[in-house]
Structure 1
């Protein structure tokens, strides 16, 4: 085979490979756009702008029963305003037959990658003196053993009633193995 025909054959193979890669890239981009929607102000198609869902129990060596449940959502139409998030979250903590629970109405949800920060005002509880307080929780959805943190981590009680929206602590707590099913839908704001 002459040098010229080998070069020509090599060029044809490269051209065909490039065409296949471009076709695959265009198909992938189209599929991603239809699943994830656009990043424009028109929203994200059927995809909500952000979400935090799921339930898990925290790990405590003393055996405390601590449960957190989330059903927080930011609609696609509200993509650029995390203060329009809706939903609720609940938490409870029982040890040696004592403890309590609370339910909060979501007032902010911000997510990034697999991390979510949600805040809400406590609307129902059996804990004395905390109804009406805002609390914030941070979740890291690791896919294995999720992590969680809460705004009252460094206080003796639920913290200040005037806690700002979407404030939580680092997710320092570990979820008990086999109990975490947190799911975070990452937020993709268009305002940046």
Structure 2
């Protein structure tokens, strides 16, 4: 009886071993057949993004209707400039549309701009864009925007460079609005009242070793 039981156990164990080996071979074969890019890593596919359309409450013009529509994404190292032929990791592309309706007169002022820089950190992003068409701003002027994505916990917020900041004094002591540098923006001071913004943050890449 002992010999019979031992033989049965041995046969069973041998069968299990063979089955496991066949399963391993099958898994190896499937892995070899799978395309190399079936599951791309986050490091190669992650792109910073800001999108959305929203009306904001601007404290200095509380009754006016002010809307921003943003569709921006990172495009690292695509804007070469003198001295930086490889561009910057914050290079970006996309569009911004701005609309401001003055309640007292019904006048509507609008502007379109092309995004040139985007930086993100957690729920906050700053971006800059160059005016391409406007009835209120100078074509070629760079504007700065900041966006706070509350993720449903409170209100999203937005800040715009010409709203309550970006002022300097000339040699005569007269105030003027200086040029906005790429990715430079004021804090997101204005709460969203309608609509929403979404910020998809991405860490800056670590420079490769020389």
TM bracket, shorter-chain basis? 0.5 to 0.7
Tell me whether 1:188 sits opposite 2:197 in the alignment.
no
How much does 1:98 deviate?
A: 2.0
Match of 1:167 in 2: 184
How much does 1:77 deviate?
A: 8.0
Instruction: List alignment gaps of at least 5 residues for structure 1.
Output: 1-33, 39-43
Tell me whether 1:131 sits opposite 2:146 in the alignment.
no
CA RMSD of aligned residues (A): 2.7
How much does 1:153 deviate?
A: 2.2
Instruction: List alignment gaps of at least 5 residues for structure 2.
Output: 1-38, 79-87, 168-175
Partners of 2:89 and 2:205 within 8 A in 1:
no
Match of 1:151 in 2: 161
Change (3 A) 1:95 1:183: same
Alignment partners' CA distance in 2, 1:36 and 1:185: 16
Q: Secondary structure at the match of 1:188?
A: coil
How much does 1:180 deviate?
A: 2.7
Match of 2:28 in 1: none
Change (3 A) 1:155 1:113: closer
Q: Secondary structure at the match of 1:153?
A: helix
Alignment partners' CA distance in 2, 1:66 and 1:139: 15
Report the TM-score, using the length of structure 1 for normalisation.
Answer: 0.67
Give the length in aligned residue pairs.
147
Q: Where has structure 1 moved over 3 Å in runs of 4 or more?
A: 75-78, 155-159
